[in-house]
Amino acid sequence: MRFRPSREEQQAAQITRLVDDQGADTSSSQAGAWGEQPEIRRQVAAQRRVAQELRTGGPDVPADLVSTVEAKVRQAYGRQPARPGRIALSWRPAVAVVGLAAVCAAIVIAAVGVGGGGRPSIPAAAELAFAPSTGPAPAARSATYLDASYGGVTYPNYQKFSVPPTGTRTDRIGGRPALTVFYRLPNGTRLSYTVFSGKAVPLPAVTKSVVFEGVPLKTFTTSSGLSVVTLVRYGRTCVLAAKVKPDVVLGLAAAPVLAQPTV
């Protein structure tokens, strides 16, 4: 099964090309009348501001990052049976515990996960699930997408699953710019959705291949207990991570792909 980019995704890719060409004007002949629309101009300007911030090193990592790590992390959530044709995204809470691994993960983010050195890393991107937001939650553009895109990838709107966006942050992970949108799952657990700029990032050796509802995905679990799912969309590496059952993250990763028209 092949998935055809939706109109929103095609527009996001066009906007990204304008953003990448800093000398281009949205009213140029290349952009045409489409690029002169006020909404398109606004989105290009917004993405150029993000790109400029990332080129200058991104936002400072808060000195009190470790203290902002959630004190309690819900674990061992059970998955409720789904109605036919729907993704199950309901859980029953279990015992909440203080995660020493979560604190260690936050320290890793502050020390080596975000910065100019090293190589871009999918596990480092996943650990951003423990990092604080530095920007507001994006608004909804449609029932399927948020009003936020990066590298040609539009972030999904999970409202129909009762998973609203809660914030954003920009980082340089191993020297590679990345934008993260955070969501809140129905049980209160945080989900991060990170998109890397540039070419696809190499997969960790521990990654397993999974086909979820016909969508090929890659998944692994970190030592800090995160279920991580990664996929490449329009040439960009996307990383979803949350401290929940793997099938929950798999379902959310597959949802926007399944929403695309098929060929």
pTM of the model: 0.62
Of the chain, the percentage scoring pLDDT greater than 70 comes to 56
Residue of 250 and 66 predicted with greater confidence = 250
Q: Where are the domains of the chain?
A: 58-258
Q: Is the pLDDT of residue 5 over 60?
A: no
Q: Give ∠ CA 77-209-118 in degrees, rounded to 5.
A: 90
Beta strands per DSSP E along the chain: 73-74, 78-79, 91-92, 96-97, 145-150, 153-156, 165-173, 176-184, 190-196, 208-212, 215-221, 227-233, 236-242
Least confident window among 6-15, 114-123, 171-180: 6-15
- Count of CB atoms within 10 A of residue 80's CB? 11
Please choose, from the candidates 236, 187, 179, 205, the residue with its C-alpha nearest in 3D space to the C-alpha of residue 70. 187
When comparing pLDDT for 62 and 13, which is higher?
13
> Per-residue confidence at 48, pLDDT binned at 50, 70, 90?
low
Average pLDDT score over residue span 168-177: 94
CA pair distance 113, 107, nearest whole angstrom: 9
pLDDT for 149:
92
Query: pLDDT-based confidence at 31, cuts 50/70/90?
Result: low
Query: Lowest-confidence range among 63-72, 113-122, 216-225, 236-245?
Result: 63-72
> Is the predicted pLDDT of residue 154 greater than 60, yes or no?
yes
pLDDT band, residue 256 (cuts 50/70/90) = confident
72-76, 139-143, 246-250: which range is least confident on average? 72-76
Q: How does pLDDT run across 104-150, given as a tens digit for each residue?
A: 444 444 433 454 457 899 999 999 999 999 999 999 999 999 999 99
